[in-house]
Structure 1
Amino acid sequence: MTAYKRPVSVLVVVHTPDLQVLLLERASHAGYWQSVTGSQEAGEALADTALRELAEETGISAPPGDLHDWQMSNRYEIFAEWRHRYAPGVVHNTEHVFSLQVAAGQAVVIAPDEHLDYCWLPWHEAAEKCFSWSNRDALLMLPERVSLAQR
């Protein structure tokens, strides 16, 4: 039996206090840059998905209390080329947005089977570089979200 991906995922925006944002280049699509993303596994809480994907894709471990749940989700159509990963007939995914602030100079160890490279960019430049509209929109909201979290 084929194990299909669940059409529920997380987007984790990793940033420094001065809003430098970590972007990862997809191994399967050179030139496609994104924040940390990944699908929820059965029985897994969304925050646990975010922390697992963060560790798998970047080598960054964070305590659950450091992760900020934006209480925001996006529903989007799954690219046709990636639909084979999902059960037949599944064409939409719901993505839940989180962020994590890390110290400047945070070490990153990418998963070579998932990513080719990484970079740190100012939030507005990172937003321009993302291929995903939902990732771009989250990055454009980052200054306001960080300001609200600090109040």
Structure 2
Amino acid sequence: MTLEILKTKEELRNLIDDYAYLSDDKKIAEVMDLFTPDVTYKVYMGGALVANVSGRENMERDFNGHASLVKTYFTLNGQHTVKIDGDTATGVSFSQIKMIREVEGKDVLTDYSVKYDDSYLFQNGKWLIKDRIGYFLIIEARPISS
């Protein structure tokens, strides 16, 4: 493995981690800077397509709408495997995402176990996410005490 490949793998891992950090802080405009302008983003829950968004502007609107319903996000990233081909790459990553929302006056914690399939593009000196598919494989919700 060359130094260049190791550097690229680190940059791609940092991209995934930046997505988590910024999303947890609800810095949606900064999250959008991690995507190509023509990004596609799909979400599957229980095998059903529940979101299919194209373009940064549409995605930002959707993310802001979602973030407005969430009191707290907390993300842990796990495995991240990539295949690099010049200025493009593909990757698979796994995340545990926790969200606290208020439902009928009570805080509800939802745990998501997510697998992401990504396509990346090296553009203007940095790696960006071009296409992302999120598979929400396990979802558990429960009320919590404040």
* TM-score, length of structure 1 as denominator length: 0.29
| Structure number having the greater helix percentage | 1
Is the radius of gyration larger for structure 1 or structure 2? Answer: 2
